[in-house]
């Protein structure tokens, strides 16, 4: 079975800061990493027997780093979509490019992380499925059964979980519960740096240029900012009885107690 795992290179959000004047992210000096839930999806895919795992990403040349990491973990092949035509893509344009690449690869199962830590939209996986017109199961925390023509999975919900079955080909988005984080072996790391990563441009995936990049993006980020963290402070003065009354009056006034 051929399985595609979609992954994204993202800035480490523990290190990222925002320029308050320009409203843009300060990426200088911020380490880039594989999106965490994409890594969980990859590790879950690698547990599937008799499967060929293809890691797929879209980004600049330096995004090769996460694809080599995927190869180090055990992926069989890696493909990078890299073209100036992809620059400035929102989730819609990104999903279109990835869907076109997936059509070329022709897998039975596509696995994505639930969402990326830089955008938190959770849109790309479902949009790919819609473009490919295939079934999708989102928020998957466990693959229960996978055969040549169907998948049964456990999906997280707000009140527990659902068991869902659908026909293949299909797409699933994975939470971090689907697989535990592991580390690649030394042999895997050596193999990753010896392996060739295929680079595809827009013309290689038969993409319509007007659906790519800024032209194909119906949305854009106007401004990023960090919310104000100022808090109101009150100092109460008096003896114990007076302090108790002041505190009670304050809590009642804010309708915290009645």
Q: What is the DSSP string of 209-246?
A: GGGSTTTT-S-------PPP---------S-HHHHHHH
Q: Strand pairing partners for 154?
A: 142, 163
Domain coverage including residue 149: 2-216
Q: Cα(58)–Cα(43) distance, rounded to whole angstroms?
A: 19
> Is residue 197 situated within a structural domain?
yes
Distances (CA, A) of 157 to 151, 152, 160, 164: 18, 16, 5, 12
What's the token pair of residue 24? 């843009």
Task: Name residues whose C-beta falls within 8 Å of residue 149's C-beta, 6 or more positions apart in sequence.
Answer: 167, 168
3-state SS assignment for residue 45:
helix
Q: Which residue has the higher pLDDT, 101 or 236?
A: 101
| Section 101-124 average pLDDT | 92
Q: Cα(51)–Cα(1) distance, rounded to whole angstroms?
A: 5
> Is residue 67 situated within a structural domain?
yes
> Helices marked H in 133-239 — which ranges?
186-194
The reply to whether the predicted model has a pTM over 0.75 is yes
Question: What percent of the chain clears pLDDT 90, i.e. is strictly above it?
Answer: 65
- Name the band, by pLDDT with cuts 50, 70 and 90, for residue 230: low
Q: pLDDT, tens digit, for every residue of 49-108?
A: 999 999 999 999 999 999 999 999 999 999 999 999 998 888 999 999 999 999 999 999
Burial of 104 (0-12, 13-18, 19+ CB in 10 A): exposed
Q: For residue 174, what is the domain's CATH number?
A: 3.40.50.620
What's the token pair of residue 158? 């707000």
> Is residue 85 situated within a structural domain?
yes
> Is residue 110 situated within a structural domain?
yes
Distances (CA, A) of 129 to 12, 72, 85, 93, 245: 27, 28, 22, 14, 60
- Name the band, by pLDDT with cuts 50, 70 and 90, for residue 30: confident
Residue 74's pLDDT is what? 94
Q: What Rg value do the Cα atoms of the chain yield, rounded?
A: 23
> Is residue 175 situated within a structural domain?
yes
> Is residue 244 situated within a structural domain?
no
The count of structural domains within the chain is 1
Residue 15's pLDDT is what? 64
| Section 196-222 average pLDDT | 90
| Section 236-251 average pLDDT | 90
Give the pairing type, strands 109-113 and 136-146: unpaired
Asked if 248 and 256 touch (Cβ cutoff 8 Å), the reply is no
What's the token pair of residue 199? 């680079």
> Is residue 148 situated within a structural domain?
yes
Give percent helix, percent strand, percent coil of the chain, each to the nearest 5: 30, 25, 40
Q: pLDDT, tens digit, for every residue of 186-203?
A: 999 998 988 999 999 999
- DSSP character at residue 181: -
- The candidate with the shortest Cα–Cα distance to 13, out of 28, 43, 33, is 33
> Is residue 250 situated within a structural domain?
no
């Amino acid at each position: 079975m051929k399985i595609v795992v979609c992954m994204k290179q993202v800035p480490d959000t523990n290190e990222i800061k925002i320029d308050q004047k320009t409203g843009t992210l300060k990426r200088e000096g911020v380490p880039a990493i594989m999106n965490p839930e994409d890594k969980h999806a990859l590790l879950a895919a690698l547990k599937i027997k008799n499967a060929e795992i293809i890691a797929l990403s879209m980004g600049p040349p330096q995004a090769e780093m996460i694809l080599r990491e995927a190869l180090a973990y055990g992926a069989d092949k890696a493909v990078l979509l890299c073209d100036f035509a992809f620059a400035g893509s929102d989730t819609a344009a990104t999903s279109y490019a990835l869907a076109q690449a997936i059509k070329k690869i022709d897998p039975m199962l596509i696995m994505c992380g639930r969402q990326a830590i830089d955008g938190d939209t959770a849109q790309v996986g479902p949009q790919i499925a819609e473009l490919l017109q295939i079934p999708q199961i989102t928020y998957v925390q466990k693959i229960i059964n996978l055969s040549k023509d169907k998948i049964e999975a456990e999906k997280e919900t707000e009140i527990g979980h659902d068991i869902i079955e659908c026909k293949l080909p299909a797409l699933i988005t994975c939470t971090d519960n689907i697989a535990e984080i592991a580390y690649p072996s030394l042999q895997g790391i050596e193999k990753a740096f010896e392996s060739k990563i295929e680079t595809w441009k827009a013309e290689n995936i038969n993409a319509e240029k007007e659906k790519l990049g800024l032209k194909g993006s119906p949305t854009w980020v106007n401004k990023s900012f960090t919310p104000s963290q100022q808090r109101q402070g009150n100092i109460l003065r008096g003896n114990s009885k007076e302090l108790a009354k002041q505190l009670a009056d304050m809590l009642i006034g804010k309708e915290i107690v009645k």
